[in-house]
Structure 1
Amino acid sequence: MLVIALFGGLVTVDTVRAAHSERRLATALLASPRITYEPEVTLGGFPFSTYARRGDFPGLVITARGVAIAGPADLRDVPQTCATTRCYAEIGIRAASVRASTADRWHGGSPIEVTGVDAYAKLNSVNLGRLLDITDLAVNTPAPTNKAGGGGPGDGLLERTSGVLLTGTVSLPPRRPSPRTDGRYPPSAHEFAGTHAKVSVTVDLSVVEGDLVIVATGFYLGPEEHADGTVPAEFERAVLARFSARVPYPRLPWGIPPTTANSAGSDIVISGTAPAMTVAPDQF
């Protein structure tokens, strides 16, 4: 019993030390000018104290939510939603290893060596809808052709760059901005004063100079759940254009260049990788 109690005590002390280090790093990350809320930080390694003494950890995960983004650069002449309602993204990294000689004394400018870094910026359907000025926008990853389902793990498909499904309500004839705003939020999809239609379209995703580029390729007719509002032939091209845009994302952590874009459930993600970097928390 004494041995068990001693072991339990050591594990508790080790866990507390790990939590303390993670909290110190999270606080250091707050020194980054674009981080408003304390990020979630997980340092790998057990027992933690062994790795802390070496300042070398087998893994690091950082998730920062509520990172502000601007409105679409190619629509500066239009009072987009994000000019009056703040739009937000999530950014983060997953590193295979991290080395910091001052493991228990994290500071904003302290150098950290990271290897095998995967970085991302994620935009959910609500914020993407604000950027496109389509209030009820929904994102879906369709299942493969001739296969029922919503593109989940059971379909062997977790993400797509082509054929992503967007559903939302737009006015007819399409116009920007939406008919009326209250100074903070766009009108709901049910407040269009004129004719409108709820439609589903397929889009292709790519990254150009750090921005997400969305190109609508056609109207979607199934088999996944979709909307098929009536769009007169003369408005079809304009409706598809409403779902196409160049959307600015916040830069990836530590300036890692984004190279890919894909859907992930109801989110859109841009991501990039770096083999090895020396970075500082206040530059996240």
Structure 2
Amino acid sequence: MRGFLITLVVLAVLLVGVDFGARLVAQDRVASQLQTQLKLDEQPSVDIHGFPFLTQAASGDYPSVTLTAEHIPYRQLRDITLVADLGDVRLPPQSLIDGSVRSIPAETVTASAQVDPADLARILKVSDVTVEPVTAQSLAARGSKVAEVDPSQAVELTSTTTVLGQQVRASVIATFRLSGGQIVLSARDIAVDSGDAPSSVSNAASGALRSRLGSFSARVDPGQLPFSITATDLRAEDGKLVVSGTAEDVDLLGGSL
């Protein structure tokens, strides 16, 4: 009996290994075809979810697939990260066997483009930018100028800039929204990270920066999202602005970035 159980365990391990290996081959073939068709500089990451993989491959039906492509230059932006969650993907088994993937149809696609802070810094013409969320408490501490701002639709942009002949760290509260598919950043308040500087110097720098508050506002045009998806949502997440949208009945190899 013990020997029989050991045999079953060994067979199970072998089957899992075969399933895992077949998944890796399929993911690599799909990723390679996507890189070629979409003219990407780097091969994207393709994750086929669900277990076992072989039953999905046999039927050609994949309920959930995630595509991730990094460092994509797109319209005004030079370094976006694209994440697309695909639902109910159809891939004929033969196309994965011989590598002849000609189409990747998905019933649903939710795509998001993550805007790198370096792109924002370039557009705002500052040396660097960090993007942080704000809270009702942090807004209240900034005073009446941002009292009416919705924390869920605002971020704190911190950057290095020159004021009164000195390099200072400026903290800007900016609201964000989508307008005509574009990201609209509107600076609402600015302050100087004084560090060890006397308060008189900090106040003078803040006053000088307020006249330049508008320069921290911008319209960022990410264009239409890949796969002909219209942007419908904008949020701040993990230090980036993320614009996203959904579409139905999309062939991932039917278009280009």
Match of 2:186?
Answer: 215
Aligned to 2:198: none
Q: Which amino acid aligns with 1:55?
A: G
Does residue 236 (structure 1) correspond to residue 241 (structure 2)? The answer is no
Q: Is the 8 A contact 1:163 1:204 kept in 2?
A: yes
Verify the 8 A CA contact 1:93 1:253 in the aligned structure 2.
Answer: no
In structure 1, what is the Cα distance between the partners aligned to 2:224 and 2:238?
Answer: 22
Structure 1 pair 165/107, CA: closer, same or farther in 2 (3 Å)? farther
**Is the alpha carbon distance of 1:24 and 1:233 closer, same or farther for their aligned partners in structure 2, counting shifts above 3 Å?**
same
Deviations 1:182-205 (A, max 9, x none): xxxxxxxxxxxx344322111111
**1:3 pairs with 2:8:** yes
How many angstroms apart in 2 are the aligned matches of 1:15 and 1:38? 20
1:136 aligns with 2:128: yes
Aligned length: 232
- Alpha-carbon distance change, 32 to 252 in structure 1, aligned in 2, over 3 angstroms: farther
User: Is residue 267 of structure 1 aligned with residue 233 of structure 2?
Assistant: no
| 2:176 equivalent in structure 1 | 205
Which one has the bigger helix percentage?
Answer: 2
Higher relative contact order (CA 8 A, sep 6+): 1
Deviations 1:83-112 (A, max 9, x none): xxxx3111120123212224515556x222
What residue is the counterpart of 1:152 in the other structure?
A: none
The residue matched to 1:59 in structure 2 has which SS? strand
Kept in 1: contact 2:163–2:208 (CA 8 A): no
In 1, Cα distance between equivalents of 2:105 and 2:227: 12
CA contact (8 A) 1:69 1:248 kept: no
Q: Normalization by structure 2: what TM-score? A: 0.79
- For structure 2, the 5+ residue unaligned runs are 1-5, 141-150, 195-201
* RMSD of aligned alpha carbons: 2.7
Secondary structure of 1:37's counterpart equals coil
1:121 offset after TM fit, Å? Answer: 0.7
* Letter of the structure 2 residue corresponding to residue 67 of structure 1: I
Q: Paired residue for 1:145, among 137, 158, 167?
A: 137
The answer as to whether partners of 1:121 and 1:250 remain within 8 angstroms in 2 is no
Q: Residue 42 of structure 1 aligns to a residue in which SS?
A: strand
TM-score normalised by L of structure 1:
0.72
- Name the structure with the higher strand share: 2
Alpha-carbon distance change, 268 to 195 in structure 1, aligned in 2, over 3 angstroms? same
Offset of 1:281 from its aligned partner?
Answer: 6.7
Counterparts of 1:212 and 1:232, CA distance in 2: 26
- Post-superposition shift, 1:267? 1.0
After TM superposition, the runs of 4+ consecutive aligned structure 1 residues lying more than 4 A away are 105-108
Counterparts of 2:252 and 2:244 in 1: how far apart (Å)? Answer: 18
Q: Which has the larger radius of gyration?
A: 2
Percent identical: 25
1:134–1:168 Cα contact (<8 Å) kept: yes
Look up the equivalent residue of 1:92 and give its one-letter code. V
User: Is this contact kept in 2: 1:34–1:67, CA < 8 A?
Assistant: no
Q: 2:193 aligns with which of 211, 224, 227?
A: 227
Is structure 2 residue 19 aligned with structure 1 residue 48? no
